[in-house]
Amino acid sequence: MQTRKLGSSNLQVSALGLGCMSMSSGYGPPGDTQQMTALIRSAVDKGVTFFDTAEVYGPYVNEELVGEALAPFKGKVVIATKFGFDLDPVSQQRTGGVNSRPDHIKAVAEASLKRLRLETIDLFYQHRVDPQVPIEDVAGAVKDLIQQGKVRHFGLSEAGVSTIRRAHAVQPVTALQSEYSLFWREPEVEVIPTLEELGVGFVPFSPLGAGFLAGKIDETTTFDPADFRNSVPRFSPEARKANLALVEIIRTVAARKAATPAQIALAWLLAQKPWIVPIPGTTKLHRLEENLGAAAVQLEPEDMKEIESAAALISLQGARLPEAALKMTGR
């Protein structure tokens, strides 16, 4: 597996990481712990060194899973986790509110360190911007944790350009994690140029459009009742039917390159910038192997031009998130 540096930092990771959320939440019932542990360790065997989790995935259980699975590889892998949501102390579920008060950030760090079985968190993201807490205070709190040796790198997730700049002025931001794929390209307008200017790495989540770009979903597909895609406008049956035109473009290139649609979608992302590191998630070994195969797919300039020209003719249907979730992005 090739490696990449996140921006101008010294944080070097595998060109493709592994998003671990779906192993515990978001896409239906949680996976079997033993099977998910084996999957994470298989990823290490295949060269993956970058793993993404968060306290709210579960909540808590995803960090515990990742911590146990990666304990034998301490010092050989990079683990990213996140703070920034309020969790009810009794039900241990999200209250729906954000919380990036400095005292809360520091408490989350201590708890995450224990669950992850670490002395230092490699990359600590603010999960969503808290409009009630100045980003300078957030960056300052993480700076304190870095000085104490409890965190190595500071990250933001789904933050807007102004927030990124203000945070970076207090504590250099190593990476931004936000949605980006052929299915959602808005970061190209302002975010990516800003990251390039500041030397901040980019970690796209949902790099396969929450599975849509893998080519296995159509308007007749049904999702588990607990799957978040049931509430996403872009995944309504009507929107899926219209948006399949994008998948057909990817299929055409995939057939010519002897690759799968998922591999083309990931290779397209890798070809955008050398400091972009996608983190596709999966609960299946064969999907993990397929995704990692994207690192070996070389898209030539004519391939990229073909994708670009054809995609420009398509107007994708449906919002990428429910309205309440969208209000928490781009702040």
8 A C-beta contact, residue 246 and residue 311: yes
Rounded to a whole number of angstroms, the CA Rg of the chain reads: 19
The whole-angstrom separation of Cα 208 and Cα 279 is 9
Among 27, 57, 125, 180, the one annotated catalytic: 57
Helical segments of 16-93, H only: 33-45, 61-70
Give 3-state DSSP helix, strand, coil % of the chain, rounded to 5.
Answer: 45, 15, 40
What single-letter amino acid sits at 118?
L
The yes-or-no answer on residue 125 being catalytic is no
Tell me which DSSP letter residue 207 carries.
T
E-assigned strands of the chain? Answer: 3-5, 12-14, 18-19, 50-52, 78-83, 85-87, 94-98, 121-126, 151-157, 173-179, 201-205
Structure tokens at 178: 């936000």
For the annotated catalytic residues, the residue numbers are 57
